[in-house]
Structure 1
Amino acid sequence: MDHIRTQPKRTFNKRTVIVVAAVAMVVACGVGLASVDFSTQRVDRDKVSVDTVRRGLMEVKVHANGQLVPRSVEYLASQVNARVLKKYVRPGATVKAGDLLAELSNPQLTASAAEAESAWKGSVNTLNASRADLRAMMINQEAALMQAKFALERAQRRLDAEQSLMPGVIPRVEHDATVLTAAQGREQVDMETRRTAAVRINVQEKLNADQARSDELKKAMERANDQVANLRIVAGIDGVVQEMNIDVGQQLQPGSPVGRIARPDDLYAELRVSAREANDVLAGQKVSVDTRNGVVGGTVTRVDPSVINGTVVVDVTLDGKLPAGARPQLPVEGTIFLTRIPEATFVGRPSYVKPDATVSVYKLDTSGHYATRVPIAVGKVSMDLMQVKGGLAEGDRIITSETGEWQGQDKILLK
């Protein structure tokens, strides 16, 4: 005989369980939503940079781009009106002083130089002929003076002799004639002396004039020869040809650029520092120059007083051997060490921060979820660090990246 089994009575049925679970979920969601901060702007944590305030030695540095510049440079230019006949070198060639780089052609200059040389040689011959003629003239005049002196000497001796025989032996008339002859002789000597001096001056003036003419023609010849010599463009220094901007057949005018030669072993760095960061750059400061093939130390030697396109040119003398591949116009990156501040409070520098100013930064709370905008006092700034003079303490954390669209918020939430 079969017996009917009775089911035990359950406290909760299935429907009740589902209802209770749904109610619990709704309550949990309500509690969660109640704890969510909808009033604070949310910022993706992965899109911001955070740095911690530290204390210790801070190096103030300035970063700048630039290039290597040769200290010894020769700029070549045409000195005459001529056509390029031959070109012997190309950029990159190593040359020595005196090496022929290019040859120009101008037949008129060559002909003018030949004519100038002929004119000068003719003036030299004329000068030599004048010198011979004037020397003969001077000899003749000196001979005339000497004859006048001899005649005076004879007259004076005769006069002395007659005076010893006077009176009675020599007639008075004859003695008077001797006196007159002696006086005439003295006048003749005086006149010939003056004439000799005048002739000597005249001779010298004529020689000076002929010499000046010859010298003038010689200078004209030298100028013409210099112009002919300028048809040969030669290197003035040892170095490497940087540019050679001419072609065979090209017509050049005086002053037309031809090329440039530089010494590759004598380079310095020319850095362009932002004008707002150049105030503290001084001669004597140490510099690290990165040539991409190596780093070399240097020293600031000159700071340009003018600002060009928002930058200041800083010259840096390089110390030691240059890295391989260093050459003129090679782009470089320089780091100038301005000063060292011991026991400084510092943190990573936001890009918008300026030195010796009061700025606002976003400071994280202890949980790291919220960041509140706070004012701080900034001292010195380096290329990636800033000195904090007030508003932050060691261990504080701030956002150092760009604030973007939330820069106007007093408080943000990092998610």
Structure 2
Amino acid sequence: MDIKREKAKKWKNKKSLTAVGAVLLLSLLWILSEPPSAPKASYDELWVGTVSRGDLTSYVEGFGTLESKDQRLLTAEINATIEDILLKPGASVKAGDVILKMVNPDLNQEHKSQQAELKQEQAKLRQIKLNQKREVLSLEAELASLQAQHKMAVLKLQAESKLAEQGIVSQLDAERSKLDKEQLKIRLDIESRRLKQLKLVHIEAIKVHEEFIKQKQGELDSVARRLDNLTVRSAVDGVLQRLPVELGQSVIAGSQLALVGSVDQLNAMINIPQSQVSQVYNKQKARVRIGDQEVIGEVIRVEPEVNDGLVKVEIDLQGELPNTVRPEMNVEATIETGMVKNTAMIERPATAKANSMTEMFVINQDSQMAVKTKVQFGAESGSHIQIISGVEEMDQVILSDTSRWQKKQSIKLIR
């Protein structure tokens, strides 16, 4: 009897263990098969937007600076050293105002040498004129003497001719007087032509030397001009925009020294992201914010180059500019790129991009759940973006950053 009771007890224990194991197995299967609970989020911590319908004006925004239409880049004409800087960037300048001064000892020495050579040649010209005057006076004196001799010969011939007719003077003496008169006449003609030719030679000689002096003067003027250009002056009224040199710096010919821009006519140079610049064309309207004022403008040029993901767009400012404007002043611009009529739109979410598809959490008011939904976006317009598909008008969408729930399909909303 005792043996039988022990076997029965063992059998009951086995049945109990089997039942417990089955219960545990069923519990585990139920836990594994139960979907994970949705994360919870409070309305207060979310940015929620409502889909609306209307006309959407698309535009792109950018930032940049004002640039002068009339800019003058001042460069070094020769190698030099910066001796003095009188004005700094941002200073207002008038045409002729000195911006900086440079020195070049070699040029100073060349200028002194050219001055000395010019004075020497001018002195030579004065000496030439004096020598020519002596030559002319000497020849004129000789010519006067010949004229006097010729007159005496004429008088003598006249007297002897009468006496020869009377037989008082021999015919031979009369013929000799006639020959003397003719020889003096020939000499007088030769010396007269010689004097005339000498004066022409003198005039030509003076012209040649004056041309040489003129050449020397030109060389001196060229050196003087380069020497004067060591003093860098503004060419126009405006603002000193850039001064890329320092005191004591050595510069070579062609180096940039200063950039001066007029303040009378300004354009805005705006940086637009490369991803958006395809929407920008010439003649599009724009609004440029200068300080607390807004000026109307028009796109006149889109640069073909891309720098650091940005493209420069030039806007012609057509409205009245504030009195405080100046070149290099920071500005912001909004360029109108088009209009989509009667379209669904919403405030632009933090992660949304134009013409892209993004997963957004759409709120179901009945269940107080936000379900992940694929939304197709179209054109963007500043703070709003067009919706092509995925949600309907009056739907509410979570616009704040939901990256923390990236792997979740829904969110439980609580108030």
TM class, shorter-chain normalised? 0.5 to 0.7
Q: Please give the alpha-carbon distance, in whole angstroms, between the structure 2 residues aligned to 1:344 and 1:355.
A: 14
Q: Is the 8 A contact 1:100 1:235 kept in 2?
A: yes
1:53 is aligned to: 51
Matched, 1:411 2:402: no
Structure 2 vs 1, CA of residues 356 and 208 (structure 1 numbering), >3 Å: closer, same or farther?
A: farther
Letter in 2 for 1:317: D
User: Which residue is equivalent to 1:390?
Assistant: 389
Retained in 2: the 8 A contact 1:293–1:323? no
Residues 256, 379 of structure 1: alpha-carbon distance in 2 compared, 3 angstrom cutoff: closer
Q: CA deviation at 1:368?
A: 7.2
Structure 1 vs Structure 2 CA RMSD: 3.7
Distance change >3 Å, CA 87–CA 377, structure 1 → 2: closer
Instruction: Give the equivalent residue in structure 2 for 1:346.
Output: 345
Distance 1:89 1:373, change over 3 A: closer
**8 Å contact kept, 1:362–1:374:** yes
Q: Is the 8 A contact 1:78 1:255 kept in 2?
A: yes
- Is 1:111 aligned to residue 109 of structure 2? yes
Say whether 1:360 aligns with 2:377. no
8 Å contact kept, 1:293–1:324: no
Change (3 A) 1:96 1:41: same
The alignment partner of 2:275 has SS state of helix
- C-alpha separation between the residues in 2 aligned to 1:284 and 1:62? 15
TM-score after normalising by structure 2: 0.64
Task: Give matches, 1:150-189, under 5 Å.
Answer: none
Pair 1:301-2:304 in alignment: no
Identify the residue that residue 289 of structure 1 maps to in structure 2. Answer: 288
Q: Which residue of 2 aligns with 1:44?
A: 42
- 2:374 maps to what in 1? 375
Give the Cα separation in 1 of the matches to 2:367 and 2:390.
18
State the Cα distance separating 1:121 from its structure 2 match.
7.4
Question: Cα gap change, 1:236/1:342 in structure 2, threshold over 3 Å: closer, same or farther?
Answer: same
Question: Percent identity, aligned pairs only?
Answer: 26
- Counterpart secondary structure, 2:326: coil
Offset at residue 298 of structure 1 (A): 1.2
Query: 2:371, 2:330 → 1: CA distance?
Result: 42
Deviation of the 1:246 alpha carbon:
6.1
Q: 1:17-45: per-residue Cα shift (whole Å, max 9, x none)?
A: xxxxxxxxxxxxxxxxxxxx971111232
For 1:358, the aligned partner's letter is: M
CA distance in 2, matches of 1:332, 1:253: 35
Contact 2:277 2:311 in 1 (8 A): yes
User: Could you tell me which residue of structure 1 aligns to residue 228 of structure 2?
Assistant: 229
Q: One-letter code of the match for 1:326?
A: V
For structure 1, which runs of at least 5 residues remain unmatched after alignment? 1-36, 134-205
Could you tell me how far apart the structure 2 residues matched to 1:234 and 1:317 are? 29
Is the Cα–Cα contact under 8 Å of residues 354 and 379 in structure 2 kept in the other structure?
Answer: yes
State the match for 2:60 in structure 1: 62
In the TM superposition, what are the counterparts of 1:83-232 in structure 2 within 5 Å? Answer: 83-84=81-82, 87-116=85-114, 119=117, 217=216, 220-232=219-231
Q: Residues 412 and 99 from structure 1, CA distance in 2 versus in 1: closer, same or farther, beyond 3 angstroms?
A: same
Do the aligned partners of 1:293 and 1:325 also contact (CA within 8 Å) in 2?
A: no
8 Å contact from structure 2 (residues 241, 328) kept in 1:
no
Confirm or deny: 8 A CA contact 2:298 2:316 kept in the other structure: yes
Q: Is the 8 A contact 2:67 2:261 kept in 1?
A: no
Point out where structure 2 has 5 or more consecutive residues left out of the alignment: 1-34, 133-204
With the length of structure 1 as denominator, give the TM-score of the two structures. 0.64
Deviation readout 1:179-203 (Å, 9 max, x if unpaired): xxxxxxxxxxxxxxxxxxxxxxxxx
Structure 1 residues 222 and 349: CA distance shift in structure 2, 3 A: same
SS in 1 for 2:392: coil
TM superposition shift of 1:211 = 9.7
